[in-house]
Amino acid sequence: MEIGSVTTPFGRRSMTLGMLANQVMAGEIKPDQSVDKWKLFRALCEAKPLLGIGDRALAVLNALLSFYPKNELAEENGLIVFPSNIQLSLRTHGMAEQTVRRHLAALVEAGLLLRKDSPNGKRYVRRDRAGEVNEAFGFSLAPLLARAEEIEQLAAAVMAERLHVQRLRERITLCRRDIAKLIEAAVEEEIPGDWQGLYGEFRDLIEGLARTPTAAQLELLLHELEALRMDILNRLEIRIKSAKQRGNANYIERHIQNSNPESTSELEPGFETKQGAMAEQDKGREAETLEEGRGEAAQSRQEESRQSGGRNDGGGLKSFPLGLVLQACPEILAYGPDGVIRNWRDLMAAAVIVRSMLGVSPSAYEEAANVMGPENAATVMACILERGGHINSAGGYLRGLTRRSEKGEFAIGPMLMALLRANAPAGRKAG
């Protein structure tokens, strides 16, 4: 056998029980046992986190394997390699000899190499007259052969863990997308609920994740995100069911109203003030105002809604809560009366100041207010101020949005949600 007896290291290097255990294990190699050295090296590269070795130690091991004459590691071929540190330095692309020695020691400590030192500590080989190796002194690759099965199992475990983490990240990405888009849809559809609070909770979960998370941390995050997504879905499903019920009730209500046009007791409380304002208008114009939200009656309805704290559509656009607008566009607060915006009137006054500051013509802003509605036009100006560094011509940008709004191709919701995400930390502090 290659290792006929236990060998101790040369010089001041001390002998340890770990070295002795490695030598005993190497002495138990089966005579017919063999393994492809480069296949085993690839497994070592995969299993390095579990073996406690680094990239440079693997580079030194790769150099040692290159000095082994056969592709198959087998005891019958001999398992000792004996290159000098100078030769190893060349094979490792110029690694300093001191660094080579340090990583050789790390490989020995990790139980991947054995030292078989000569009496004077030099590495060399003795051959017989036929040129066959009689005895060699250097580094034994026997631990690699003895631990080949273990190393392959460790490599498989590392690859399985990496695949598991990759799948966790994929599921987290999908869950994050679902939550963000569901909240955005809920805000755009004006569904009642603490959507700002839910969005803040969502951002806290994402930002609380470590830079290099473990699989356990990713599993915990995924569990919490799935619970949040389920909560949002439940809220939206409840809203859908209630909307269906209201739809049936509205059909019956319209039938009663058509049967008795003079009756006003079936109208919802939120529309009583509107009905009073439109009582003197002719029936055809009233129907047109309710269905299309255009003309002078629609503007009157918006004015009354502002006074009563409600939210109406302007030109087909949906208005959003003032608090949400200010959270997404905090820069416009500085232009409100005394640096504060308390209501929609303050926001519209601030928008006029911003319009002048950004060089938007009065006609462009007036046209936007007519098409979108005063509240939505002020909201758009706040958004333009927030994105001022990315817009070359605020006036041209506003006219473009006005044209798109006329065609029904523009919605304020996505713009607000994008700014809300960008200002999420600041938004939570203000809230």
pLDDT of the residue at 278:
39
**Report field, pTM of the whole predicted structure over 0.75:** no
More confident residue, 372 or 241: 372
The predicted-structure confidence for 332-364, as pLDDT tens digits, reads as follows 998 888 888 999 999 999 999 888 888 889 889
Rounded to 5 degrees, what are φ and ψ at 62?
-60, -40
Q: Following DSSP, what letter does each residue of 134-147 receive, concatenated? A: EEEEEEE-HHHHHT
User: Which is higher by pLDDT, 43 or 246?
Assistant: 43
Give the burial string for 320-346 (b: 16+ CB within 10 Å, else e): bebebbbbbbbebbebbeeeebeebbb
Q: What is the pLDDT of residue 153?
A: 92
Q: What is the mean pLDDT of the chain?
A: 77
Q: What integer is the mean pLDDT of 196-218? A: 88
Residue 73 forms beta bridges with which residues?
35
